Amino acid sequence: MAAIFNLNHPAHTVHWHFFQMSVSNIVVIVLMLAVFVIAILAPFPGHRQGGGGS
Amino acid sequence: MSVTGERSWTGRVREHAVAALPPEKLLPDKQPSYVASWIYVFGVLSLASLAVIIGSGTILTLKGPQWWHFTGVGHFFNSLHLWSVELFFFFMVIHLWGKYWMAAWRGGRARVWVTGAITFLVAIPCALTGYVSQQNFDAQWISTQAKDAMNSAGIGAFFNLTNFGQMYSFHVLLLPAAVVAIVVAHILLVRKHGVVPPLEWREMAAKARSPERTESSP
C-alpha cells in the first residue's frame, strides 16, 4: 500500500532512565495536553465573558 | 392497573423512571450558561466516536475477516474502526481531565464520576482484545507477550489471550455491551443531576483570605 511516509520501520523511541515511549506516542500526548488547554482558554461562540449562571 | 386496583411492577418502574427523569430532563432543550465552553464538548465527542466504533464494528462483524483484509472498502472500514477507537480515547481522556479538574463529582454526582471511570477501565480491555483480534503478526505478538502478563496476574486460565475465539467474542459482544450499558447509565445520571456548575474560585479565594472563621470550620 502506498503511504506518504515510510511506515515499514521500527518506531523511533525515547529512552530516559526507566521511561521508554515512541515519539509518535509522545506527540499524541503533547497534542492532547495542547487541545485541553485550548479548550479551556478558547472563546466559545455566543458566550458573554463574565456571564453568570442560569 | 389490574382488576383489583393493584399496580403492576411495570407501572411502578414507569412511575419511578418518570419521576427520576421527566421528559424535559431526559431530553432538555436548554442548558446552563456556564456550559458555553469548549471543554464541555468532549463528552459528546467521545459519544460520537463511540457511535462510529459501534457502527463500523457492526459492519465488520457482518462482512467478516476476508472482507476487511482483502477488499478496498473492507480495509477502509477496518481503518475507520481503528481510528474511531483512537479518537474515542483521545476525547475521553480530555473529558476525564476536564471533569477531574472541575471536580465534577460535586453536588451528589459521585455516581456520574464512578460510571465514567468504569467506562474508561472497561474500554481498555475492549480495545486490547481488538488489537489481539487483528489476525496479523502484530496481533500474534501482542497475544503471546500479554499472555505472560495475564498469567503473572493469576487470571491466565480464565482469560487466555491466545484463544482467538475467546478474545474475539470478548471484543465483539461482551465488552462493547458492557461499555454501552455503562455509558447509558452515565448519561442518564448526567441528565438527572445536571451539568456540574464551575468551581467558584473568586468566592473560595475570598473566603480563604477572610480573617473571620466560624466555629465549625477546621
pLDDT in tens, B141-186: 999 999 999 999 999 999 999 999 999 999 999 999 999 999 999 9
Closest CA in chain B for residue A53:
B33
In chain A, what residues touch B87 (CB-CB under 8 Å)? none
Q: How far apart are CA B128 and CA B126, in angstroms?
A: 6
Rg (alpha carbons) of chain B, rounded to whole number? 23
Output the average pLDDT for chain A: 83
Helices B72-101 and A23-41, interaxial angle, to 10°? 50
Q: Which of residues 76-95 of B touch A (CB under 8 A)?
A: 90, 93-94
Angle in degrees, CA B47, B52, B56, rounded to 5: 150
CB contact under 8 A, B41 and A32: no
Residue numbers in B near A44 (CB within 8 A): 36-38
Is B37 within 8 Å of A54 when comparing Cβ atoms?
Answer: no
> What is the maximal distance between C-alpha atoms in chain A?
55
* Amino acid identity, position B9: W
What whole-number distance in Å separates Cα of residue B174 and Cα of residue B171? 7
Q: How confident is the model at residue B3 (pLDDT cuts 50, 70, 90)?
A: low
Q: Which residue has the higher pLDDT, B207 or B71?
A: B71
Q: Which residues of chain A have pLDDT under 70?
A: 1-2, 47-54
Looking at CA atoms only, how far is residue B16 from chain A in angstroms? Answer: 27
Pairwise pLDDT comparison (B125 vs B217), residue with the higher score: B125
**What is the dihedral angle through the alpha carbons of B139, B145, B147, B149, rounded to the nearest 10 degrees?**
-130
Angle of helix B110-132 relative to helix B72-101, nearest 10 degrees, comes to: 150
Q: Which residues of chain B are within 8 Å of residue A53 when distances are taken between CB atoms? A: 32-34, 197
CA proximity to B34, closest of B196, B212, B209? B196
Per the DSSP assignment, residues forming a β-bridge with A20 are A15
B38 → closest Cβ in A39, A52, A53: A39
Q: Which among B102, B154, B17, B125 is positioned nearest to B9, based on CA atoms?
A: B17
Q: Are strands A13-16 and A19-22 parallel, antiparallel or unpaired?
A: antiparallel
Q: Which of B30, B34, B94 lies at the smallest CB-CB distance from A39?
A: B94
Among the partner-chain residues B32, B94, B197, the one whose CB lies closest to the CB of A36 is B94
Give the pLDDT score at B6.
65
pLDDT above 90: percentage of residues in chain B: 82
Structure confidence at residue B152 (pLDDT): 94
- Rounded average pLDDT over B52-72: 96
Per the DSSP assignment, residues forming a β-bridge with A13 are A22
**pLDDT, tens digit, for every residue of A2-16?**
677 777 788 899 999
Q: Residue A1 has what pLDDT? A: 54
Interchain proximity A46–B42, CB inside 8 Å: no
C-alpha cell at position A41: 482558554
Helices vs. strands in chain B: H and E counts, helices first? 10, 0
Average the pLDDT over B96-122 and give the result.
97
Q: Does A7 touch chain B (CB under 8 A)?
A: no
Angle in degrees, 0-180, between the axes of helices B175-193 and B42-63, rounded to the nearest 10? 150
Cell 459519544 belongs to: B47
Nearest CA-CA distance, residue B197 and chain A, Å? 8
* CA nearest neighbour of B134 among B93, B167, B90, B177: B167
Query: Which residue in B has a C-alpha nearest to residue A44's C-alpha?
Result: B37
Nearest residue in chain B measured CA to CA from A46: B36
Q: Is the pLDDT reported for residue B13 higher than 90?
A: yes
Residue numbers in B near A42 (CB within 8 A) = 38
